[in-house]
Amino acid sequence: MTYCVGLFLEEGLVFLSDTRTNAGVDHISTFSKMQVEEVAGDRVLTILSAGNLAITQAVWSRLQEGVWLNGERHTLRNVPNLFHAAQLVGQAVRDVYAADNPALAQQGIGFDCSLLLGGQISGAPHRLFLIYATGNFIEATADTPFLQIGEIKYGKPILDRGVTFATLLPDAIKLVLISMDGTLRSNLTVGLPVDLLLYRRDTLHVALRRRIAEDDPYLLMVRANWSRALREAYQAMPRPDWPLA
């Protein structure tokens, strides 16, 4: 499995993805699930992917080669805005479905694929989308400023409680790392290292792209600090005064 999260914030966008893929518990590998298309001054587009690796890699390869949409061949380097980029990714997903699903279905394998796409293109606002295996998509808004794919449940409560559209980028980094760390701890199919990318609105270049490994001092600090804070928080909470028999 996989855990990927994207935040859509007033200040910009934050992406975090793990790198574990597994086909059974004895076939585990490390693959980045983050792809970035950056043309400084013009566009930054980030894609995170979850699902069957053969499918998500095929989607990315097709996007690199160019995808036919409305009679023309497009890549992420020439779409005019994020909505068109999401359509293009959706079309790539549908093309892979058309090419590969008959063979997958014959062997009883589902078409498992979901993607986060976020970024900004010159002259248009920054946006964040979740693209389904069916090629259609939803968009994050100020009301719901985060989207997740893969093993989303473990890390959702902290995002539900912590993330708002006004969350500042440095706090956002902490929140996605906490969300990821809880998931890593509770689910073996999500694994380190993780890939982090920060984009600041209207800058049109990547602010930070960083691979965070097991021995990363900041990750270790977040982990230790958070575990201690949780322990202290519940211990400090008053006990119920319910009478015990």
161 binds a second copy per the rule CB under 8 A: yes
Helix (H, G, I), strand (E, B) or coil at 226: helix
Cα–Cα distance measured from residue 60 to residue 76, given in angstroms and rounded to the nearest whole number: 10
Please state the closest distance from residue 58 (CB atom) to a second copy, in A.
Answer: 29
Stretch that binds a second copy, among 80-88, 99-107, 118-126, 148-156 (CB under 8 A): 148-156
Three-state secondary structure readout of 151-187: CCCCCHHHHHHHCCCCCCHHHHHHHHHHHHHHHHHHC
**Which one, 93 or 175, has the nearer CB to a second copy?**
175
CA distances from 109 to 30, 63, 92, 134, 185 (A): 22, 23, 19, 16, 28
* Binding status of residue 25 toward a second copy by CB under 8 A: no
d(C-alpha 156, C-alpha 4), whole Å: 11
Q: What is the dihedral of CA 76, 34, 124, 173, to 10 degrees?
A: -170
Residues 166-205 binding a second copy (CB under 8 A) are 170-171, 173-175, 178, 182-183, 185-187, 198, 200, 205
- Position among 154, 190, 192, 204 found at the interface with a second copy (CB under 8 A): 154
CB closer to a second copy out of 129 and 154: 154
User: Which of 25/233 has CB closer to a second copy?
Assistant: 233
Length of the chain in terms of residues written: 245
Smaller CB separation from a second copy, 11 or 95: 11
Amino acid (one-letter) located at 192? L
Cα–Cα nearest to 53, from 29, 86, 25, 89: 29
Smallest distance from the beta carbon of 185 to a second copy, in angstroms? 6
Query: Is 160 one of the binding residues for a second copy (CB under 8 A)?
Result: yes
List residues near a second copy by CB under 8 A.
151, 153-158, 160-162, 170-171, 173-175, 178, 182-183, 185-187, 198, 200, 205-208, 210, 218, 221-222, 225-227, 229-231, 233-245
